[in-house]
Structures are given as structure tokens and as C-alpha cells.
Amino acid sequence: MTDSQISDLTKLLPAPPAPDLPADRERVLRDHLLTEFRLARDASASDPRRGRVARPARRRGRRPLLAAVGAGGFLTVALVTALALVLSAGQPAGASPAAVQLLAKVADAAARQPAPRVSDSEFMYIRSEVAFASYTNSTMTMAPLHERQIWLPVANICDSGLLIEDGSRTSLASTPVGSGAVSCGRGNLNGPTYRLLQSLPADPRALLNLIYAQTGDEGQAIGHDGEAFVTIGDLIREAIVPPRTAAALYRAAALIPGVTFIGRVTNATGRPGIAIARTNGQIRQEWIFDQATLQFVGERDYDMSTGTPVVNGDTAIVQRAFVSKAGQLP
């Protein structure tokens, strides 16, 4: 993005709603819009929902674009759309034909699911079987498959969620710190609640543009398309995604170049499935869908650094449900 493009986009900004807006905040928003997407912190190192010591880091924390739209009011929907279009301009054609066909079927199956009625006080419960590799002096050791249970709030990330894994119980409550580094509410693409997932655009291109915009400054390692694919994978991995949003996410993934069809596989527990994948840097990430229902049932990662694909991450989704409180079983 050129300086002139940034300047043109900043003209779309409305006047600040409060006269006492901190000067540095106003300067950031008005002089350089892209700083809204700068790296805020490495969330994968501290958030048990997103990263594990044994798992290669995937995503870095970002200043949440959606929070900026909702809380500050400075970035209008029109401005976000304009910026996203600039960031995604010139993107080549999407996934391979076979991957597009499978993702279209997966999206149709997701859209046919009934939308659950959920209260704000409830939690998403996801039980899975997982195994990840650890690396010591360039030697990879794959951990045994084990159970992982997580409870994530429906409406407010500051409600105390819970993770139980390897015999350990970890509170997942987010606490506001500093000047808005973490804010209570629906969360963001780096850590969404069910309510945030409900609010995402239903149009696949608009949704992908939003994802490109939020990951606009993070494509150095795996490219903007790689970041978009990883972001969608993060959103579907440990969540109950509303049917309309799930359909949009899968159709958005079909627009990403480099996504390929893998074919028949099994997930970590041996459940038959069909997979698509994308190689991002030295990691190939596969999404696995149930062979019969086409529901997302797991993920498999491969370390591609040696030239021969080696599995270094394996997950299988066992159960999803809404429950009344963290720690409660369906």
C-alpha cells in the first residue's frame, strides 16, 4: 500500500467522538492505518487455546480489527472494506478445482445444520484427542495421543473458560491490561467467542477480505494467503461455529490460492475422512472432514523441512456441545 492510498483511506475516517482522545491514538489512526494491524504480542506463547509448547507456532497476536470497529468507532465498515480490497488486490485464482468442489460440499452441509439457540452465559465445550511433536536439538519426538477438553465463553472473553489437558486445569479468563491490549467482550479473530463468530460476514469474499485486512502485516513468513488459511483453521479448530459462518469460512477458503485436494484420510482416532491442505512455509496443514457428514473432524500437520513430510501434529474432534458453566460435561 502506497502513502497516497493510505492518505486517501484516512479521509474516510469520521471525526473523533471524544475531544480528549489520546494524542498518540489519534496519530496512529490518522497517520498510518496499517498500524491497526501491527503485531501486539505473541499470543501463541501465552494462550493455551492457541499454542502449546510442543506445537510449532502458527499465529502471532494482533491488535483486533473488529474491536477497533466496535469500540472506538473510528474505522467504519466502509473503510475496513476499502482497506481489505487494497490488501487483497491482485490475488490470483483460488484453490484447486477438486478442493473447491469439496469445500463447496462442506459449506453446503454446514449451512444445512440448524442454528442453536444459545444464551450469553453458556460455554462452548470441545473434547478432542491430540498429539504434537516436541523438538530437542533438531530431533523431533511425537507425544502420545491424549484427551483435551476446553470450555470457551459464548459472549464475553473475560468469563472464565477452562482447559483440562494432561491432568492440568488451566483457567482461560482474559484480564484487561494496559490501554486496551485485551478488552472484554466478543473477542477477535485471534480468540473469538461464539457471538463474534455469529457476527462475521456471510459473504465469502467479504469475509476473506476482512481476514486479509487483519493479517495484512503478517505475511512475511508464509504470505498473506498462508496467513488467511491459518486464520480460518484457527477459527474452526476449537469452536462451535454457527452454520452460516461455517459455510462462509469454507467458501472463503476455496478462494485462497494454494489450497489443494488430498483425498481420503483418517483423523487421529481413525475416523474416515476427506482432506484438503495448504503448505505454509515448512508446515503442511490438512483439514479433515468426515467422509459421510462432511463435518470438520480434525487436523493434521506435517513438517516439510526435510523434504519428506513428517507428521508433527494430529487432532481429532470427539465432541462439541454448549454447557451452562465451565467444567460441566454435556
User: How many CA atoms does the CB half-sphere of 111 hold within 13 Å?
Assistant: 14
User: How many CA atoms does the CB half-sphere of 252 hold within 13 Å?
Assistant: 31
Assigned domain for 329 exists: no
Query: CA 79, CA 5: separation in Å to the nearest integer?
Result: 12
Under 8 Å CB-to-CB from 67, ≥6 apart: which residues? 180, 183, 185, 188
Question: How many structural domains does the chain have?
Answer: 1
Residue pLDDT tens, the chain, 330 long: 544 444 444 444 444 444 444 444 343 333 333 333 333 333 333 333 333 333 333 333 333 333 333 344 333 344 444 444 444 444 446 889 999 999 999 999 999 999 999 999 999 999 999 999 998 887 889 999 999 999 999 999 989 999 999 889 999 876 655 545 557 899 888 889 999 999 999 999 999 999 999 887 555 678 889 999 999 999 999 999 999 999 999 999 999 999 999 999 999 999 999 999 999 889 999 999 999 999 999 999 999 988 889 999 999 999 999 999 999 999
C-alpha 32, offset from chain centre: 25
Query: CA 230, CA 207: separation in Å to the nearest integer?
Result: 14
For residue 45 the three cell numbers come to 506463547
Q: Which residue has the cell 504434537?
A: 132
Residues spanned by the domain of 217: 3-323
Whether the Cβ atoms of residue 210 and residue 84 lie closer than 8 Å to each other: yes
